[in-house]
Structure formats: structure tokens, C-alpha cells
């Protein structure tokens, strides 16, 4: 298992290095695809930014939901305590 994970991480690292190097060469050599490469890189960064904002929004919704559930749970406990006669 550990060996498989190590191989996978090595593959991801090599792939990332090749893509980064290739992209750098394209951007530095001013090819005909230079503008398209820059546009795709911009889209990639915007997607990362949107992902972070979406995670933040999801976290806030989960906290709101938890607060409502806990407050409803506390209300039902209080109602049960009021309904039970103490001896």
C-alpha cells in the first residue's frame, strides 16, 4: 500500500514538473498558442478561487444547519423537562 502511494505521488510530481516546464517554454517562446495558454491558466486560477469560496459558503451553511439542529434539540429537551413532574 505504501509503495503504491509512493509510486502515485512520484507520478503526480513528474507529471506536474513536465506540464510546468512545457508551459514555461510555451510562454517564453511566444508561440501562436501563447494567448490561449494564458487564458487557460487564468481559468484554472479562477476555478481554484471559486472552489475556495464555495468551500467557505458550504462551511457556513453546515454551521447554520448545526446551530438550528442543536437549538431544536435543546427546545425539545426543555419541553420534555417541563412535561415531566419532578418527584
Grid cell 418527584 in the structure block, residue: 87
23 in the same domain as 55: no
Please indicate, yes or no, if residue 82 is contained in any of the structural domains.
yes
Say whether both 49 and 83 belong to one domain: yes
Residue 16, in any domain of the structure: yes
11-68 pLDDT, tens digit per residue, is 999 999 999 999 898 888 888 888 899 999 999 989 988 988 998 998 999 888 888 8
- DSSP per-residue letters across 39-87: HHHHHHHHHHHHHHHHHHHHHHHHHHHHHHHHHHHHHHHHHHHHHSPP-
47 and 87: one domain?
A: yes
As for how many domains the chain has, the answer is: 2
Is 13 domain-assigned?
yes
Taking 80 as the threshold, does the pLDDT of residue 82 lie above it?
no
With 70 as the cut, is the pLDDT of residue 77 above it?
no
Question: In this structure, is residue 37 part of a structural domain?
Answer: no
Cα distance between residue 4 and residue 10, in whole Å: 10
> Does 38 map to a domain?
no
Q: Which domain holds residue 50?
A: 43-87
Amino acid at each position: 500500500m505504501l509503495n503504491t502511494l509512493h509510486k502515485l505521488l512520484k507520478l503526480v510530481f513528474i507529471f506536474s514538473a513536465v506540464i510546468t516546464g512545457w508551459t514555461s517554454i510555451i510562454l517564453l517562446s511566444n508561440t501562436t498558442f501563447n494567448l490561449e495558454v494564458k487564458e487557460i491558466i487564468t481559468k484554472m486560477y479562477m476555478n481554484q478561487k471559486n472552489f475556495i469560496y464555495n468551500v467557505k459558503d458550504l462551511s457556513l451553511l453546515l454551521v447554520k444547519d448545526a446551530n438550528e439542529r442543536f437549538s431544536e434539540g435543546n427546545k425539545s429537551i426543555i419541553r420534555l423537562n417541563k412535561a415531566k413532574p419532578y418527584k
